[in-house]
Structures are given as structure tokens and as C-alpha cells.
Amino acid sequence: MKYEIDLRNDHWIGAGSLLIIGLRALDAGIFAELDAFAWVQGWETDRGRLFRHAYRDPRFGTLLECGLCRGEDTTGGRKPCSLCDGTGRIDRLRPEVREER
């Protein structure tokens, strides 16, 4: 990565710019492997602040609470829920039609 340095007559501005550039380069170097892995996996990356990166798999946004067991994994008879197979979640992108048991 290339960073441009704007040096003026005031040396403090130049030193501050160098410090910021150095911190950003260090941040990019530390998180380079994790960012690359997240990019390959298709995850969302949030780089809100220096040295803080948050990763999220967008597939978590497709999970909904099961309407039959209300996320409890079981129905009234303590049997696993037949709609969600006992997970408590339904994937809204892959609706599966199941036969009654």
C-alpha cells in the first residue's frame, strides 16, 4: 500500500502524519490474514477503529425463530420439534416442505 505524506513547514504535522500512516500499516499487517480469510468466506468485515475488526457471516441474518416451538427445540410433549428438527431455528432462504409424522 502506498500512502502519501503531506509535509509542510510545521514538522509536527509531518510527524503526526507518519505516525498515523505507520499505525494504519501496522493494523493492515496484523489483520491481513484474517481479512483475507473473511473475504474468501464471504463474511462482512467492519473496520470501525484501528486494531478492531469485526467479522460476521451474513447467513446469520437468514435464521428465524421456529414458529411452532418458539425456539425452545421441543413441543409440548418434550419431543423434538418436527418443523425445525429440534434446532429452534428455521433458515428462511431454504424453506423445506416436510410431511407430517
The verdict on residue 55 lying in a domain is yes
The verdict on residue 80 lying in a domain is no
pLDDT value of position 12:
64
Grid cell in block for residue 97? 416442505
Whether the predicted model's global pTM rises above the 0.85 cut: no
The verdict on residue 8 lying in a domain is no
Name the residue with higher pLDDT: 12 or 19: 19
Query: What is the average pLDDT across 2-10?
Result: 62
pLDDT value of position 89:
82
| pLDDT tens figures, 80-92 | 887 787 788 888 7
| pLDDT tens figures, 25-68 | 999 999 999 999 999 999 999 988 899 999 999 888 888 888 88
Which residues constitute the domain of residue 50?
14-62
The verdict on residue 19 lying in a domain is yes
Examine the pLDDT at 76 and tell me if it is beyond 80.
no
Type and span of the H or E element at 47 = strand 44-49
The verdict on residue 57 lying in a domain is yes
Torsion, CA 72, CA 95, CA 41, CA 2, rounded to 10: -110
* Residue 62, phi then psi, degrees to nearest 5: -95, -5
- Helix intervals (H) in 1-101: 11-41
The verdict on residue 31 lying in a domain is yes
Counted domains in the chain: 1
The verdict on residue 75 lying in a domain is no
CA dist 7 → 11, 15, 24 (Å): 7, 9, 18
The verdict on residue 44 lying in a domain is yes
Closest CA to 86 of 68, 98, 62: 68
